[in-house]
Every structure is written in structure tokens, then in C-alpha cells.
Structure 1
Amino acid sequence: MQPPHDPALQRQYDNPALVPEHPAIIAGWAADAAAYRRRGGELDIAYGPSPRERYDLFGPQEAPIAVFIHGGYWQKLDKSFFSHCAAGLNAHGVAVAVLGFDLCPAVSIRDILRQVQAACTALPRRPALAFGHSAGGHLAAMLLASGHVPAALPISGVFELAPLRHTTIGTALQLSEAAARALSPRFLPPPARGWLHAVVGSAESPEFRRQTRDFAAAWGGTAEELPGLNHFSVLAPFSDPDSPLITRMLGAIAA
């Protein structure tokens, strides 16, 4: 049963309300992603039977592969908004698979996790790193926890799912208290080996910033607040080949 909504938690996790200009930012993502696809890439490679179980692969076939997982609270958007997030790593010879997957409430978060795990298995090589935004940050952390990747860089991730049960966001997720905890990276044992760097915008809500700090500390990873960036603009560094975050990711991939 869904618990009562908590207005304070709703304010902390309702990112569209916190960033009124988000429609223009998302429209910019769509335009940049479409322009990047026009430059090339292998699109809509199937890894499962669902029409959304597809990935787009950008970069040289023989290169190391990173995976990018989009956000939208496991219930919105698709991979077509995020092709340009491959640009930063592609410029340094790293291929990026941008993953698609089914959405809640048609499937559960556990189903989505199984899908992105299957996508990693279907790639030409084991991915060297997972990075993902918001709900995709959660999934990137879960891929590290399950050993599907050796390194993860979650971006504005959700690592404790229980608070969402008290918001309108949680309605479509249909999480029991037990499932919310079982699917929360913050409360899972850290992988015996693995590289973790979690980032969040300094202009994000206190809860998102707390979750990032607490998760990184619990797993012995590192955390970073990106100055002046909100929950949507926080993706900008990943299309920039000269971003310090791209340099950090390259170091993890090469390790």
C-alpha cells in the first residue's frame, strides 16, 4: 500500500517543479541528440523482445565501451533524448552504448534492472563503465553492485528509494517498503572491487545532494558537487570532451 504523501519530500524530489525552465533544457537535449545521431552510430540494436529493449552504439567497434542510462524516474523519456551524452567519451576513442528500456508502471524497477543487465551482457564487450542520470544513476550503481561493470559514475542519482514512496513520483513505481530497501544501492553491500564517483549539481535539492554524499561514503567512493548546475543542466559536461569529468572517466576506464 502506498503511504501518505509528504509535502516536504514532494518538494525535495519534484525536479520539474524545482527547475521551471526544464522544458527548454529537455528540448535542447532532443535537438542535440538528433544532431549527434546524424553524425553516425548503430541505432536500435535489439537486446530483448520488447520494442524498447534497444541500444544505440556510438564510437569505434574495437574501442572500450561505456554505457549511458537515461533518467525520468523510471517512467519517462527514452534513449533518443541522450545520444549527445556519448560525445565526450567518443572524442577520446571510447564507444558509448545509450540504453533503452521499458518504463514503470508497465514494468517494475526490478524488471528495468534486469533489462539493463541484459543489455550489458549483449554488448560486443563487457562495458568498462556505466554512467547514468537520475534514475539512470540508480541503475548505474546497481550495475556496479551486480558486477556487470567495474566502474560507475552516477549523475544526480537516487540511491535510497523509500522517500519516493511518500511522493506522487512513487505512485507508478508501486514499491513496497521491502522492495524499496532491496533496490536501494545505499543499503547494499559495496562491491569488493569497483570504482565509484558520484556527482550532483550544487543547485539541486538538499535531498539529492545528501543522497549522493551518503551513498558515496557508504560505498567508499568519492562524491562531487558541480557548481551552479541543477538536476537538468548537470548533464552538460558529458558532451564536452574537455570536461574534467570526462578525464576522470577515462582514467577509470584505463585502470
Structure 2
Amino acid sequence: MPLQPTPIEAVEDEALARLLEEGQRDDAGTVERYRTSKDAVFERYGPVEAPAAVLVHGGYFRPGVDRTHLRPQARALVAAGWQVVLPEYRRVPGAACTATEDLAALDAHLRAEHVDVRVWVGHSAGGALALWRALAGDLPPVRVVALAPVADFDAAVAQRLGGDAVRDWIGAGPQESPMTYARLDPTRLAARTTEALADIHLVHGTLDASVPVAQSEDFPAARTLVPDAHHFDLVDPASPHWPTVLGIIRG
């Protein structure tokens, strides 16, 4: 018999379903392409002269979860005065670096267009990728807000978070593929630098049932733990916790 979701898991499932419904129902932003891959597109919201936030969606690196559920957050940020870039990127099991290749290409595309990107905001697995953007060391500095990020890949693999999501994405465990983990794991990347950490702020709900709050508690950067917030409260404009998140994004 399959395990029944906990009360918090059920609340998170309901919140995600509502965000997906809202994202599918309402108008999307203008869709643009940033490289030749069919998956490498982004939606642009808001006035082009406004400062820009790049939103990187999560979904535990699974191919079936796309950017739709972050559209309500994108529209809320536009209402707060931002231009928003909401990208799609490849999530290929066993070829994890295709995601970072796409996001590096997006970064180069936005710089070539002279988009005034002030912050990268990533949620869940997207939080891990936003942390990679800040810590990889071969891209220009940028401020990053990581919302409920998968920040410690060793712990994620050991706890089999997301049904072995990190192992499935990378295609191996840390012992079998140490170089890939060294390139992608935020905790390993953070151990190599101190300067970039000053531009990072982690935000995590204490009731998160999808990505445990411990993923953020030991990360060596600024953090805000949001009492009584679950995983999707941090990207839901209807949540009572959204003003806290918005204030941190504003910086």
C-alpha cells in the first residue's frame, strides 16, 4: 500500500496544484529563445527598462516539471516593479550539466542584450542552480536568493530526497561521479570561495516537507528561516509569507 502524504505534504500538493492551475490559466509572458535547443526559451514579463530578476524553477530536476507554476510569482514581481525572466532549461537524467550549460547561455544572452539583471532567484532544485550561478566562478558576480534550495547534495542523496532525485539527475552517487558533484553541488562550491557568499541569501520554511530546512541551516551564507512556511509558500503570492520573500528579493 502506498504511503499516505503527511498533512504538510498534502498542503504542499494542494498549493502546487493551485499554482499550476493559475499558471496554465493566465497569460504567459513573451516567449523568447536564448539558444538553439528547443528547451532553451524564456518568458519575459514587465517593462524592459525595469531591473530584472531571473526566476529559476524547481521540480527536483525532473524533466516533467516546467516553469508553469512560477508564473504567478513572475506576475507578482512585475507588480512590485521588476522585469522578470522565467527560463526553461534542460533537465536530462544522467546529463546534469546540460542544465548549467543552458543557464550559462541564458546569462550570456541577457548580458548581450544589456538586460539589467539585479538578482537570480531559484526555488528548490532551481535554488541549487541559482547557487551554482553565484558560485561557479566563471560568470560575472550576481546577487542570488535561493528559496528552499537543494543546497547539500550529499545529504539529498543519503536521504533519497525527491525519490532519489539528485542521484537520478546526475546519474550516479557522489562516490561514483565525484567530479560532477564537485561542479554542481552548492556545498562543495561554497567551500572553495568566500567572496561570492556575500551575495547569497537562502530562505527556507521551517515546515518544508519537500526539501528539509536542514538543507539551508548549515550553508555558509546569509539565511532567513521562515516560521510555519512550507515549500511552496516561498513562491506563492497568495501566501502570508510572500511579503517576507519579496522584501529579501528587493535586497
- Give CA-to-partner distance per residue, 1:47-94, whole Å, 9 cap, x none: 122221110010101121110011111114111221111133212321
- Give CA-to-partner distance per residue, 1:155-214, whole Å, 9 cap, x none: 110111123334232452213421224321112223625521101111025972222121
Q: Report the counterpart of residue 147 of structure 2 in structure 1.
A: 155
Question: Is the counterpart of residue 192 in structure 1 residue 182 in structure 2?
Answer: no
Could you tell me which of 127, 130, 133 is aligned with 2:120?
130
Q: TM-score, normalised by structure 2?
A: 0.80
Paired with 1:186 and 1:62, the residues of 2 have a C-alpha distance of 35
Q: Flag the 1:192–1:209 CA change in 2: closer, same or farther, 3 A.
A: same
Question: Is the counterpart of residue 108 in structure 1 residue 112 in structure 2?
Answer: no
Give 1:1-255 correspondences, 5 Å limit. Answer: 19-37=9-27, 41-43=29-31, 45-75=32-62, 76-105=64-93, 108-123=95-110, 124=113, 125=115, 127-146=117-136, 147-166=139-158, 167=160, 168-173=164-169, 174-177=171-174, 178=178, 179-188=180-189, 189-190=192-193, 192-193=195-196, 194-205=198-209, 208-215=212-219, 218=220, 221-237=221-237, 243-251=243-251
The answer on whether the counterparts of 1:74 and 1:103 sit within 8 Å (CA) in structure 2 is yes
User: Counterpart of 1:187 in 2: which secondary structure?
Assistant: helix
User: Counterpart of 1:55 in 2: which secondary structure?
Assistant: strand
The answer on whether the counterparts of 1:54 and 1:100 sit within 8 Å (CA) in structure 2 is yes
Greater relative contact order: 1 or 2 (C-alpha under 8 angstroms, separation 6 or more)? 1
Q: Which moves more between the two structures, 169-178 or 193-202? A: 169-178
The answer on whether the counterparts of 1:67 and 1:97 sit within 8 Å (CA) in structure 2 is yes
Deviation at 1:122, TM superposition (A): 1.2
Unpaired runs of at least 5, structure 2: none
Q: Flag the 1:21–1:239 CA change in 2: closer, same or farther, 3 A.
A: closer
User: Counterpart of 1:165 in 2: which secondary structure?
Assistant: helix
Counterpart AA for 2:183: A
Counterpart AA for 1:140: A
Counterpart AA for 2:54: V
Q: Report the counterpart of residue 3 of structure 1 in structure 2.
A: none
Q: Flag the 1:170–1:47 CA change in 2: closer, same or farther, 3 A.
A: same
Paired with 2:193 and 2:81, the residues of 1 have a C-alpha distance of 30
Aligned sequence identity (%): 21
User: Counterpart of 1:198 in 2: which secondary structure?
Assistant: strand
Q: TM-score, normalised by structure 1?
A: 0.79
Deviation at 1:35, TM superposition (A): 4.5
User: Counterpart of 1:224 in 2: which secondary structure?
Assistant: strand
